[in-house]
């Protein structure tokens, strides 16, 4: 029987309830729990370099664990692989480029070689695990070269990739010296999924303009001597399960502690990995502007920012962390009083289950990335709300989620005054309007559910026309 084989850099923690501070792991685990299958990825551990990595054989067989119907296979990375592939090319080059931050991107040929080496290393392990009729679903920007490596080993399975991040305009992508090689590698996949139509169009534009490809009907592209199907699959959440978690956690001690600290004040809340793409600096500035412009809200509101450190050995992440620590202290120094701390900044992660009741308690959910593939926190915040008395989502127009959640208060995160005004409007929004906006967002999210994301992608992978397979 054909199995679903998922491969991603990051594999969710095996133990239920552990924090997974990233949307990919949370979304894929939720999706796989229903279908069952096999999930292969990095263990999160590094081992010392004992021999030059290019001479390493596939290495020890991957570690195996079971989580319900999911079998997880994980492999360690050598320190050099980690440095070149994960810290270097993936997070030092690709991540900033995919999020339009060309100024933060660096490029190093050795790191790119390391990236290709790890993709090949993953492919060799997978080749041992995959049966001929399995379908392979790769995830995200860490694995752009995986399909080519699998093809080189003779695999003829259907192979798809879903890109969780945005796809940049060709002019931005072309700042990476190996842009053509990357897109050619992507063209070795049979199916490429994107979060939004804007991302899909940016990819098709590159293929047609720079590789001489042709856009055919129904998202099909002809390029590199083969046909590649492209599609838009916005990742969703399980609205009812998340609301149930929010309700079930209503009596957790953390919530009681939060409420007692609030002493009746309104709560505004944000949660994200501490990443420059999430717009934290601009958001802090907008909150400061809001406090300066609205003294009537002093002592009446608190902003809780949960920001677990992420990719801490990449310089740009160290810089944003230093900057935010300074800004949080400065804003509190300017406005705080003996009985009021306007900004609570927590550099730690919480299990998602613990976050849900906190979201439910927040009158405003602030999600203002400068650029984001989707942003699941926005969808989790809306899911957690009590439909009879919901909070308000203030959402960046540059998050993929804004394409679906247009009933949120949409803002431009670079417009500090505009975000400050949206905060005031959200806090004062009448119940009828809050209910109307919340109902509209729930309706879209119920339709574009996590199940639909998975079923449409896997369904399309299974339904690939024989010509796409023949061409492999």
Ligand X SMILES: O=c1ccn([C@@H]2O[C@H](COP(=O)(O)OP(=O)(O)O)[C@@H](O)[C@H]2O)c(=O)[nH]1
User: Catalytic residue positions?
Assistant: 164, 372
Among 88, 373, 390, 391, binds ligand L263DTV3 (CB under 6 A): 373
Handedness of CA 157, 158, 162, 167 (dihedral sign): positive
Q: Which is nearer to ligand L263DTV3, 79 or 341 (CB)?
A: 79
CB of 357 to ligand X, least distance (A): 13
Distance CA(396)–CA(375), nearest Å, equals 10
DSSP 8-state symbol, 14? S
Number of neighbouring beta carbons within 10 Å of residue 417: 11
Chosen from ligand X, ligand L263DTV3, none, partner binding at 19 (C-beta under 5 to 8 Å by type): ligand X
157 alpha carbon, distance to own chain's centre = 27
Is residue 375 a contact partner of residue 369, using CB atoms and an 8 Å limit? yes
Residues 310-339 that bind ligand L263DTV3 (CB under 6 A): 310-311
Decide: 372 and 402 in contact? Cβ < 8 Å: no
Instruction: Select 21 or 144, whichever has its Cβ closest to ligand X.
Output: 21
Residue 97: how many CB atoms within 10 A of its CB? 22
Report CA dihedral (3, 8, 14, 15) to the nearest 10 degrees. Answer: -130
Which residues here bind ligand X, judged by CB under 6 A? 19-24, 26, 271, 273, 306, 308, 349-350, 352, 355, 374-377, 380
Residue 78 interaction partner, one of ligand X, ligand L263DTV3, none, beta carbon < 5-8 Å per kind: none
Nearer to ligand X, 367 or 422 (CB): 367
Q: Which string of DSSP letters, residue by residue, matches 380-401?
A: HHHHHS-TTS--EEEEETTBGG
Under 8 Å between Cβ of 214 and 221: yes
Residue closer to ligand L263DTV3 by CB (options 374, 441) is 374
Query: Which is nearer to ligand L263DTV3, 242 or 291 (by Cβ)?
Result: 242
**Residue 349 interacting entry, from ligand X, ligand L263DTV3, none, C-beta within 5 to 8 Å by type:** ligand X
- Exposure string for 331-367, b = 16+ CB within 10 A, e = fewer: beeebeeeeeebbbbeeebbebbbbbbbbbbbbbbbb
> Which residues are paired to 269 by β-bridges?
304, 365
DSSP 62: P
Smallest CA-to-CA distance from 194 within 230, 228, 227, 158 is with 230
Q: x/- contact string, 224-243, with ligand L263DTV3 (CB under 6 A)? A: -----------x--------
Among 3, 10, 33, 344, binds ligand L263DTV3 (CB under 6 A): 10
Distance CA 307, CA 277 (A): 13
Is residue 27 involved in binding ligand L263DTV3 (CB under 6 A)?
Answer: yes
* Number of residues counted as binding ligand L263DTV3 (CB under 6 A): 17
250 CB neighbour count, 10 Å cutoff = 12
Smallest gap from Cβ 91 to ligand L263DTV3, in A, equals: 6
- Smallest gap, in angstroms, from Cβ of residue 420 to ligand X? 23
Among 6, 7, 12, 22, binds ligand L263DTV3 (CB under 6 A): 22
Residue 71 binding partner per list ligand X, ligand L263DTV3, none, with a CB distance cut-off of 5 to 8 Å that depends on partner kind:
none
The burial of 178, by beta-carbon neighbours within 10 Å (0-12 exposed, 13-18 middle, 19 or more buried), is given as middle
- CA–CA separation, 68 and 266 (whole Å): 40
- In this structure, the chain runs to a length of 472
Using CB under 6 A, pick the residue from 164, 283, 403, 434 that binds ligand L263DTV3.
164
Q: How far apart are CA 285 and CA 195, in angstroms?
A: 29
Contact residues for 64 (Cβ-Cβ < 8 A; gap 6+)? 71, 72, 73
350 binds, among ligand L263DTV3, ligand X, none (CB under 5 to 8 A by kind): ligand X
Instruction: Pick one of ligand X, ligand L263DTV3, none as the site partner of residue 352 (Cβ within 5 to 8 A by kind).
Output: ligand X
In the bound state with ligand X, the residue whose beta carbon lies nearer, of 26 and 268, is 26
Q: Smallest distance from the beta carbon of 99 to ligand L263DTV3, in angstroms?
A: 8
Which residues are bridge partners to 309 per DSSP? 274
With CB under 5 to 8 Å by kind, the binding choice for 134 among ligand L263DTV3, ligand X, none is: none
Query: Of 314-322, 372-380, 440-448, 462-470, which part binds ligand L263DTV3 (CB under 6 A)?
Result: 372-380
Closer residue to ligand L263DTV3 in complex, CB, 157/375: 375
Give least dist CB 11 to ligand X, A.
14
Closest CB to ligand L263DTV3 among 10 and 456? 10
* Best CA proximity match to 401, nearest among 415, 380, 425, 420: 380
* Helical axes 376-384 vs 239-248, angle rounded to 10°: 60
Residue 2 or 100: the one with the smaller Cβ distance to ligand X is 100
| Tally of CB atoms within 10 A around 249 | 19
Binding partner of residue 165 among ligand L263DTV3, ligand X, none, CB under 5 to 8 Å per kind?
A: ligand L263DTV3
CB of 82 to ligand L263DTV3, least distance (A): 12
- Residues that bind ligand L263DTV3 in the complex, under the rule CB under 6 A: 10, 22-25, 27, 140, 164-165, 235, 310-311, 372-376
């Amino acid at each position: 029987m054909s199995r679903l084989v998922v491969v991603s850099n990051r594999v969710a923690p095996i133990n239920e309830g552990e924090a997974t501070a990233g949307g990919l792991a949370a979304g894929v685990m939720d999706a796989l729990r229903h279908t069952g299958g096999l999930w292969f990825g990095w263990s999160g551990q590094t081992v010392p370099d004992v021999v030059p990595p290019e001479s390493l054989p596939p290495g020890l067989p991957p570690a195996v664990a079971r989580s319900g119907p999911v079998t997880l296979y994980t492999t360690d990375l050598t320190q050099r692989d980690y440095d070149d592939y994960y810290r270097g090319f993936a997070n030092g080059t690709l991540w900033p480029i995919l999020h339009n931050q060309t100024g933060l991107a660096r490029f190093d040929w050795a790191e790119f070689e390391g990236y290709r080496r790890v993709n090949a290393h993953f492919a060799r392990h997978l080749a041992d695990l995959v049966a001929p009729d399995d379908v392979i679903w790769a995830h995200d920007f860490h694995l752009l070269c995986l399909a080519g490596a699998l093809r080189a080993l003779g695999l003829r399975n259907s192979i798809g990739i879903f890109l969780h991040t945005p796809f940049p305009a060709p002019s931005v992508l072309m700042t990476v010296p190996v842009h053509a090689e990357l897109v050619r590698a992507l063209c070795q996949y049979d199916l490429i999924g994107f979060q939004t139509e804007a991302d899909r169009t940016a990819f098709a534009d590159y293929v047609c303009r720079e590789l001489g490809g042709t856009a055919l009907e129904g998202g099909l592209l002809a390029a590199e001597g083969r046909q590649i199907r492209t599609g838009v699959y916005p990742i969703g959440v399980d609205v009812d399960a998340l609301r149930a978690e929010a309700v079930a956690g209503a009596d957790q001690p953390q919530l009681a502690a939060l409420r007692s600290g609030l002493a009746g004040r309104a709560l505004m809340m944000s949660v994200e990995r501490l990443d420059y793409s999430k717009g934290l600096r601009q958001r802090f500035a907008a909150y400061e502007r809001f406090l300066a412009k609205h003294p009537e809200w002093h002592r009446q509101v608190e902003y809780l920012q949960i920001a677990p450190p992420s990719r801490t050995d990449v310089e740009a992440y160290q810089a944003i962390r230093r900057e935010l620590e300074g800004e949080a202290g400065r804003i509190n120094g300017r406005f705080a009083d003996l009985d009021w701390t306007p900004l609570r900044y927590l550099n730690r992660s919480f299990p998602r289950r613990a976050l849900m009741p906190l979201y439910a308690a927040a009158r405003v959910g602030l999600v203002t990335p400068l650029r984001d593939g989707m942003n699941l926190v926005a969808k989790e915040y809306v899911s957690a709300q009590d439909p009879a008395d919901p909070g308000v989502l203030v959402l960046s127009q540059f998050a993929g989620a804004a394409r679906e959640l247009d009933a949120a208060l949409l803002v431009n995160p670079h417009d500090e005054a505009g975000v400050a005004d949206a905060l005031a409007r959200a806090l004062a929004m009448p119940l009828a309007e809050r209910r109307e906006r919340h109902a509209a967002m729930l309706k879209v999210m119920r339709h574009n559910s996590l199940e639909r994301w998975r079923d449409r992608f896997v369904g399309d992978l299974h339904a690939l026309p024989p010509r796409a397979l023949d061409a492999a």
